[in-house]
Chains A and B, each alone.
Chain A
Amino acid sequence: DTGVSQDPRHKITKRGQNVTFRCDPISEHNRLYWYRQTLGQGPEFLTYFQNEAQLEKSRLLSDRFSAERPKGSFSTLEIQRTEQGDSAMYLCASSLARGAIVNTEAFFGQGTRLTVV
């Protein structure tokens, strides 16, 4: 396992189109996070899964955004009817929390750079 992987690395789309990103976490990690990072800013939390359950969503996650994590493995983030303001880097991270074992280190993927034109 080489870490958290995200696909695609770059995506250019026309305004109004739908896009979907994929994140494959480290295999034994049961927690998965999505963050959004705009240019020159720190990442902002979007949503979080523990196994297949989506437990928290940020107010940043409008109804055009949806995330899934079927079977508690990989996750997808879909943006419908993209807008220019959606242009950003979308980062995925994973960590392990199981019973008494709570690993506070979140491992990040390299991100998907979305450009909406």
Chain B
Amino acid sequence: AQTVTQSQPEMSVQEAETVTLSCTYDTSESDYYLFWYKQPPSRQMILVIRQEAYKQQNATENRFSVNFQKAAKSFSLKISDSQLGDAAMYFCASSKIQGAQKLVFGQGTRLTINP
């Protein structure tokens, strides 16, 4: 079974600053995917970044990057140069590589951007 834990219910950051959202997970799979999804107030979930567990290199997507620590089962998201449009709920998720690839989500972190 897979579990995902986000221990920060809320975070806030000043516009243009950097913020890091934490996530830990547990899985018995040897290969798996990890994701960060963003859910703005309109409620549609959007993929922010994806990491394959077999890759050692941390994924990056423009201002978004992850710190993947496989041994520690930690997967944090760093948002650089925060923008007002980054305000949303952020969910960490994992899935198996084979089979259904259903997503297991954490509880979410609400990110507020202060102008």
Contact = CB atoms under 8 A, between A and B. Distances in A.
A28 interface: no
Nearest to A105: B47
B50 A105 contact: yes
B100 interface: yes
Interface in B88-115: 91, 93, 95, 100-108
Given A41-B108, A42-B107, A110-B42, A56 B102 contact: yes
Would you call the interface of chain A mostly helix, strand, loop, or mixed? strand
A97 B101 contact: yes
Interface residues of B, number: 23
Interface residues of A, number: 26
Contacts of A91: 45
Contacts of A44: 105
B100 A43 contact: no
B30 interface: no
Interface of A: 31, 33, 35, 40-45, 48, 55-56, 89, 91, 93, 95, 97, 102, 104-111
Interface of B: 4, 6, 33, 37, 42-47, 50, 91, 93, 95, 100-108
